[in-house]
Structure 1
Amino acid sequence: MPTSPAETRPLLHAACHCGGVRFTVRLTDGLNTARRCNCSYCRMRGAVAVSADLADVQVTQGEALLTLYQFNTAEAKHYFCSTCGIYTFHQRRSSPDQYGINVACIEGMSPFDFAEVPVTEGRAHPRDRADGKTRIAGWLRYQANGHSE
């Protein structure tokens, strides 16, 4: 029996800080989609996000704990745990068929696993520009100091 593309991508387990919200996800292109954004909300939230198609995210526990936050155009849907406040994922304005997943919620992953993450220009959103293209505003870099205490 042929394997579907979704079956070749690993099923990852994720949760908020308190564990009240749990979900599974299959990423569209592994960690290659990791990025941050400099829009007013994302720069305060500070999360590194990776991409998943809407159908590839399944909340397995605590859906009632998810709280929705929207602002400005109210097109993007930002979800977070109402108990611990952790941002879990959001339905993107730029790609409404995808979620941005908080990489820190994925078991065994951390935003500090990335030496460099592109920061997209969100202050001038791609959907608000004539060319519709995403621009890179800069790069977020992390380098461990070599001490493990």
Structure 2
Amino acid sequence: MLKSYRGSCHCGAVHFECQLDLAPVGQRSKPELDGVWWTSSFRCNCSWCAKTRFWKGFARPAGFRVSSGRELLTEYRFDGAEIRHTFCSRCGVHPFATASFEPMGDFVAVNIACLDGVTPEELAAVPITYEDGRNDAWDRPPAVTSYL
């Protein structure tokens, strides 16, 4: 079920609101667009996700807004510079990233760990898809996922 969430960085300088579907499999609403990105959360072993422990849930841009602290966000890009990784310039937490890829279109990758008020039980029920970004094999999990 698509639901409204609020999130923030560690120091509380950056706040955002988003619409995500974190419901377990079988309880999720039909996504606006086709594709696995809207039916799961993702854990990846690429250099960025592995080092930052980024746990992403995808939101459509219309379902996301920074409610405070936009001026404190710093952007980091690497490799092909296609993804705009953002982080709080005060505490260093990375609450979201934005990009546009075919066939996904425009999206916001929300760091699920930055959502406020989500219970441990809710987090434990969020479906996770593992990606082998280290080997550019985004359509399959890496051989070992327990550390992600």
Name the TM-score, length of structure 1 as normaliser.
Answer: 0.73
| Structure label with greater radius of gyration | 1
Name the TM-score, length of structure 2 as normaliser.
Answer: 0.73
Structure 1 distance, partners of 2:42, 2:90, is 26
Is this contact kept in 2: 1:47–1:111, CA < 8 A? no
Secondary structure, counterpart of 1:18 in structure 2: coil
CA distances 1:81-135 after superposition (whole Å, capped 9, x unpaired):
0100001101146545111111111112378933773320112336xxxxxx622
Structure 1 runs of 4+ with >6 Å offset: none
Question: 56, 65, 71: which one pairs with 1:64?
Answer: 71
Distance 1:71 1:16, change over 3 A: same
Q: Which runs of 5+ in 2 are unaligned?
A: 24-38
Question: 122, 129, 135: which one pairs with 1:124?
Answer: 135
**Are positions 1:100 and 2:109 aligned together?**
yes
Structure 2 distance, partners of 1:86, 1:136, is 26
**What is the root-mean-square deviation in Å for CA atoms of aligned residues?**
2.7
Question: 30, 46, 49: which one pairs with 2:22?
Answer: 30
**Are positions 1:114 and 2:124 aligned together?**
yes
Q: Cα offset for 1:141? A: 7.3
Equivalent AA in structure 2 for residue 125 of structure 1: D
Distance 1:93 1:46, change over 3 A: farther
Distance 1:96 1:67, change over 3 A: farther
CA distances 1:48-102 after superposition (whole Å, capped 9, x unpaired):
1111012211001000011100000000110110100001101146545111111
The within-5 A match list for 1:80-91 is: 80-91=87-98
Secondary structure, counterpart of 2:48 in structure 1: helix
Q: Which runs of 5+ in 1 are unaligned?
A: 1-7, 127-132, 143-149
